[in-house]
């Protein structure tokens, strides 16, 4: 009977000596309230009653959701919704001691962590204006991590990531921001429309100017060609008159007959191309004689000029 009791006591003591530590955690052992050692994952041995498990610490990643408010330099309220990811810095004994004994309990640590993050964000936001905040999401995260990393390392923790999931302003500010965006869009649209109209008018003016230049050049060339045609016509008329005058001299006829023929041809041309207009001519014998004398005088002057030119 005594042997059975002794065996039972021995088995109980042996059972109390064995401690199982789960993967991803460590157990902090104290002896009479003083830190003694750290038990690693797996089956461990301890001295019953003397060695006590003070705390089990997980070094796996942990996350927490945060919602808080900050005030900008121009006194605008900004509402933040953030996710904080952190873990124990490493598995070294010194780090485990810091995690186990820096705070009274887990609640105190969480409160200090949350207030530290909120304070860092608020301090940075207070130096910026409301219009800048939405563009500074990355800068806010970088600033917070830079400030908290050393502090958390002293507590045995490491800030892995901080995500600002949402940045929102008060409803009045959101409405004013929407109005500013709408007015800027209207301004940009008006500027684009004005530039398009200016380009259209500029191109139209350039096209009109080019058309005028082309028309003027064509008119100049046409006038030049008309002048050349008239000159050629007159040259051919003069050559024909010279030939006709020689023929009439050989035939012993009066040269004034050619002038009379030209005058009658001119009247015929007037009649054919007058388009119904009335042309008044003096058909009396005296006027006909005067006209012939004038034409003979012009013919004689042309001959004199030609002979002087040949000399």
19-33 tens-digit pLDDT: 899 999 999 999 988
Q: 62 with 87: CB under 8 angstroms?
A: yes
**pLDDT average, residue stretch 68-90:** 89
pLDDT band at 88 (very low <50, low <70, confident <90, very high): very high
| pLDDT tops 70 at residue 285 | no
Q: Looking at 12-21, 119-128, 160-169, 178-187, which range is the least confident one?
A: 178-187
Residues 54, 71 within the same domain: no
Q: Looking at 116-130, 131-145, 277-291, which range is the least confident one?
A: 277-291
Residues 95, 157 within the same domain: yes
| C-alpha gyration radius of the chain | 58
Residue 289 lies in a domain: yes
Residues 259, 292 within the same domain: yes
**Block residue for tokens 């952190």:** 86
Partnered with residue 77 across adjacent β-strands are 71
Q: How many domains does the chain have?
A: 3
Residue 8 lies in a domain: yes
Provide the pLDDT for residue 47: 86
Phi, psi for residue 68 in degrees, rounded to 5: -155, 175
Residues 96, 155 within the same domain: yes
**pLDDT average, residue stretch 305-311:** 53
Rounded percentage of the chain residues whose pLDDT exceeds 90: 16
- Can you give the pTM of this predicted structure? 0.53
Question: CA–CA distance from 247 to each of 124, 240, 261, 292 (Å)?
Answer: 117, 11, 15, 20
Residues 11, 67 within the same domain: no
Q: Looking at 52-61, 250-259, 265-274, which range is the least confident one?
A: 250-259
Provide the pLDDT for residue 206: 83
**pLDDT average, residue stretch 176-182:** 67
Residues 76, 154 within the same domain: yes
Provide the pLDDT for residue 304: 58
Give the residue ranges of DSSP H helices in 255-284: 256-273
Residues 67, 161 within the same domain: yes
Q: 166 with 80: CB under 8 angstroms?
A: yes
Residues 70, 118 within the same domain: yes
List the helix and strand counts (H, then E) for the chain: 8, 8
How many Å apart are CA 87 and CA 99, to the nearest integer? Answer: 11
**pLDDT average, residue stretch 154-159:** 90
| pLDDT tops 80 at residue 259 | no
Of 231, 303, 304, 291, nearest to 262 by C-alpha is: 291
Residues 99, 138 within the same domain: yes
More confident residue, 209 or 173: 209
Residue 187 lies in a domain: no
Residue 281's domain comprises 254-311
Of 156, 125, 169, 168, nearest to 143 by C-alpha is: 125
pLDDT band at 205 (very low <50, low <70, confident <90, very high): confident
Residue 69 lies in a domain: yes
Provide the pLDDT for residue 299: 58
Provide the pLDDT for residue 157: 92
Residue 198 lies in a domain: no
**pLDDT average, residue stretch 141-152:** 87
Residues 102, 148 within the same domain: yes
61: left (phi over 0), alpha (psi -120 to 50) or beta: beta
Domain boundary among 169, 186, 204: 169
Averaged pLDDT of the chain: 80
Residue 286 lies in a domain: yes
Most confident of 81-90, 129-138, 159-168, 248-257: 81-90
**pLDDT average, residue stretch 160-189:** 76
Q: What is the CATH number of the domain that holds 77?
A: 3.30.479.30
Domain boundary among 14, 43, 58: 58
Residues 68, 157 within the same domain: yes
Residue 189 lies in a domain: no
Residue 211 lies in a domain: no
Q: 248 with 257: CB under 8 angstroms?
A: yes
How many Å apart are CA 246 and CA 12, to the nearest integer? Answer: 162
Residues 53, 67 within the same domain: no
Domain boundary among 17, 32, 58: 58
């Amino acid at each position: 009977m005594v042997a059975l009791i002794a065996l039972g006591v021995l088995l109980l003591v042996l059972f109390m000596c064995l401690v199982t530590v789960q993967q991803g955690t460590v157990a902090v052992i104290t002896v009479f309230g003083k830190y003694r050692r750290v038990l690693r994952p797996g089956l461990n041995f301890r001295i019953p009653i003397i060695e006590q498990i003070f705390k089990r610490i997980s070094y796996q990643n942990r996350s927490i959701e945060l919602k808080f408010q900050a005030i900008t330099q121009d006194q605008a309220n900004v509402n933040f919704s953030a996710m904080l990811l952190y873990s124990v810095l490493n598995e070294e004994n010194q780090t485990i001691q810091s995690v186990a004994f820096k705070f009274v309990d887990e609640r105190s640590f969480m409160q200090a962590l949350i207030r530290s993050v909120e304070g860092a964000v608020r301090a940075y936001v207070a130096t910026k204006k409301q219009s800048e905040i939405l563009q500074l999401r990355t800068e806010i995260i970088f600033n917070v991590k830079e400030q908290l990393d050393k502090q958390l390392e002293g507590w045995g923790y490491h800030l892995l990531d901080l995500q600002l999931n949402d940045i929102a302003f008060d409803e009045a500010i959101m409405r004013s921001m929407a109005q500013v965006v709408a007015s800027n869009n209207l301004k940009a649209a008006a500027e684009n429309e004005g530039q398009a109209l200016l380009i259209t008018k500029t191109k139209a003016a350039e096209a009109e100017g080019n058309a005028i230049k082309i028309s003027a050049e064509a008119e100049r060339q046409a006038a030049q060609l008309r002048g050349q045609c008239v000159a050629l016509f007159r040259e051919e008329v003069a050559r024909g008159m010279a030939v006709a005058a020689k023929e009439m001299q050989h035939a012993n006829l009066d040269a004034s007959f050619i002038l009379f023929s030209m005058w009658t041809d001119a009247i015929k041309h007037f009649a054919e191309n007058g388009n119904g207009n009335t042309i008044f001519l003096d058909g009396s014998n005296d006027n006909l004689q005067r006209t012939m004398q004038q034409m003979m005088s012009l013919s004689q002057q042309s001959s004199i000029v030609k002979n002087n030119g040949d000399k």
